Amino acid sequence: MQLFDVLKPDVLFPLLLSMLFGVFVGAIPGLTATMAVALIIPLTYYMKPVAGLAMVLGASFTAIFAGDIPATFLRIPGTPASGAAILDGFELSKKGKGSLALMLDLFCSALGGLIGVVILITVSPPLAKFALQFTHFEYFWLGIFGLSMAAVLSRGNTIKGLLSATLGLLISTIGIDVTTGYPRFTFNVTELMDGVSFIPAMIGLFGLSEVLKRTSEKSRLQLSAVSEVVRPNLKETFAHIWNHKFTLLRGALVGTFIGALPGAGADVAAWVSYGVEKNVSKDEELGKGSVRGVIAPTSANNAAIGGTWIPALVFGLPGDSITAIVLGAMLMYGLRPGPMIFTQSRDLVTQLFAVAVLIQILLIPVGWLGIKAFSLFVRLKTSLVMTAVTIFCIIGSYALRNSVFDVYVMFVFGLIGYVFEKLRIPLAPMILGLILGRTVEDNLRVGLIKTKGNFLPFLTRPISLALFVMIVLVLIVPPLTKTFSKKKV
């Protein structure tokens, strides 16, 4: 049976390795889950798609969880998604309850992740059937909607997010024009005829740029050792989870919903969930070492990963920067994300769902190992970690097509990422622009060719119009709310 293929060594072994790698990357402050995925993709080039995608899923789930470990013990989030977990996790740690906080982190991450995956499994197929009604007009707006959401929800200001997305779209126009076969912006460079390769670009933007950023900072990564010996008390942990089951459920539901919005990822989900918990529970201890403050964000950030896969699989629209990389990888495997994947590659989708459930089970022992090994990780020096990351960025970019040109592409994008970080221009919209560029342009042009240049049908079809209205709302409502609230003050 296809479903049980995921338990075969050629899938299970890489999955376990990727989860250990995810713990390692996630637990080191400054190295993000996105970076873990970008670095793991080159290892999956020669694997079968299900094993490659299992590695990506495994690394992302465990990295998001592992980010909570330094957040709890050192008040430094391992990944941006652990920002909200700092507040109460560290306060609990100061009270000598760091072990409890970490055990809650671990089990709530697994349970939250499981709820997110169950929603992914139940919602995706019917949504894919609905997506079959989409034509060029709807796909054009859907692409624009994804880019707008990414720009609005990413950190920094919206204008800079939109600018980043536009630059990504512009870079996507490099290469041979599909409609006419004319080479655009290639400057007679043969390697550019196929366009800019996604994977080296992503490795550069998220891997090398981070290395450049961290090595140009004065502060060092060298961290102090864990002050508390981790002694788990399962009975106490389960009692807390049972007593706060609705907090966990709320966190997971909020996390999945936020994750499913294109552009919002696990970090946004964790903060929103924390905010919701603050409003709903009225717990005055929140922020001072409340168990609720640990359960809500940690269940939300892992549930969000399941959520981000909903638009990625159904519409081919990345939910966050991790799924943006995943979409690039899927294209590399010869898969085409979108509603048809549920009929054309049904077995693969089923196996992916099975892998996602399996990861939540494996997260408990792997995460526990991660917690135990944390004291070793934090002793690693920046110089060693950054050197290893640089080497993997170089070899990983080369390995895709055995092309030195791809290494230079990675380098250029590394520099772009570095400058963007300095100017506080978000990176995720650029990657989304790069990936969605072809979709947006092709659907716009084919739509216009069909209507002989008339743009009106883009606004008259019901789903198109609904998407257009949503885009306008996404772009207009936040600044209006901001202005309104300023006037009120």
Partner 1 sequence: MSVADVILGSVLVFISFFVLLYSRKFPHFVVRGVRLPGPSFFPRILAVLLLIFAVYIFVEQFLLRKRKALWEEHRIDAKSLLNVLWISLMVLFFFPLASLIGTFITVSLMSFLLTVVLKAKWYEALIFSFAVALVVYLIFGVIFKIPLPGGILLAKLR
Minimum CB separation from partner 1 for residue 445, in Å?
5
Residue of 368, 254, 221, 288 lying closest to 86 (CA atoms):
288
Q: Quick one: which of 243, 387, 454, 481 contacts partner 1 (CB under 8 A)? A: 387
Measured CA to CA, the distance from residue 478 to residue 234 in angstroms comes to 44
Measured CA to CA, the distance from residue 52 to residue 61 in angstroms comes to 15
**Residue with Cβ nearer partner 1 (67 or 161):** 161
54-88 burial, b if ≥16 CB within 10 A, otherwise e? bbbbbbbbbbbbbbbbbbbbbebbbbbbbbbbbbb
Measured CA to CA, the distance from residue 9 to residue 22 in angstroms comes to 19
- How many residues in the shown chain lie near partner 1 by CB under 8 A? 59
Tokens linked to 251: 């966190």
Q: Which residues contact 446 (CB under 8 A, 6 or more apart)?
A: 136
Measured CA to CA, the distance from residue 97 to residue 228 in angstroms comes to 9
Minimum CB separation from partner 1 for residue 422, in Å?
6
**Residue with Cβ nearer partner 1 (309 or 392):** 392
**Residue with Cβ nearer partner 1 (128 or 471):** 471
Q: Quick one: which of 253, 295, 386, 474 contacts partner 1 (CB under 8 A)? A: 386
Minimum CB separation from partner 1 for residue 117, in Å?
29
Q: Quick one: which of 20, 75, 125, 408 contacts partner 1 (CB under 8 A)? A: 408
- CA–chain centroid gap for 455, Å, is 34
Residues 253-292 that bind partner 1 (CB under 8 A): none
CA trace torsion 102, 105, 111, 117 (10° rounding): -130
Q: Quick one: which of 37, 114, 294, 410 contacts partner 1 (CB under 8 A)? A: 410
Q: What are phi and psi of 176, to 5 degrees?
A: -75, 130
Q: Quick one: which of 12, 20, 45, 83 contacts partner 1 (CB under 8 A)? A: 45
Q: Which residues pair with 175 in a beta bridge?
A: 184
DSSP 240-284: HHHHTHHHHHHHHHHHHHHHHSTT--HHHHHHHHHHHHHHHH--T
- Are 273 and 251 in contact by the 8 Å Cβ rule? The answer is yes
Q: Quick one: which of 123, 135, 275, 411 contacts partner 1 (CB under 8 A)? A: 411
Residues 196-235 that bind partner 1 (CB under 8 A): 208, 211-212, 215-218
- Contact status: 335 vs partner 1 (CB under 8 A): no
| Binding span for partner 1 by CB under 8 A among 57-65, 167-175, 341-349, 367-375 | 167-175
- Contact status: 58 vs partner 1 (CB under 8 A): no
Q: Quick one: which of 130, 381, 476, 479 contacts partner 1 (CB under 8 A)? A: 381
Residues 179-198 that bind partner 1 (CB under 8 A): 179-180, 182, 184-185
Minimum CB separation from partner 1 for residue 485, in Å?
19
Residue of 450, 445, 470, 435 lying closest to 142 (CA atoms):
470
- CA–chain centroid gap for 482, Å, is 27
Residues 413-472 that bind partner 1 (CB under 8 A): 414-415, 418, 422-424, 441, 444-445, 448-449, 452-453
Measured CA to CA, the distance from residue 470 to residue 386 in angstroms comes to 42
Binding site for partner 1 (CB under 8 A): 42-43, 45-46, 159, 162-163, 166-167, 169-170, 173, 177, 179-180, 182, 184-185, 208, 211-212, 215-218, 381-384, 386-388, 390-395, 398-399, 402, 404, 407-408, 410-411, 414-415, 418, 422-424, 441, 444-445, 448-449, 452-453
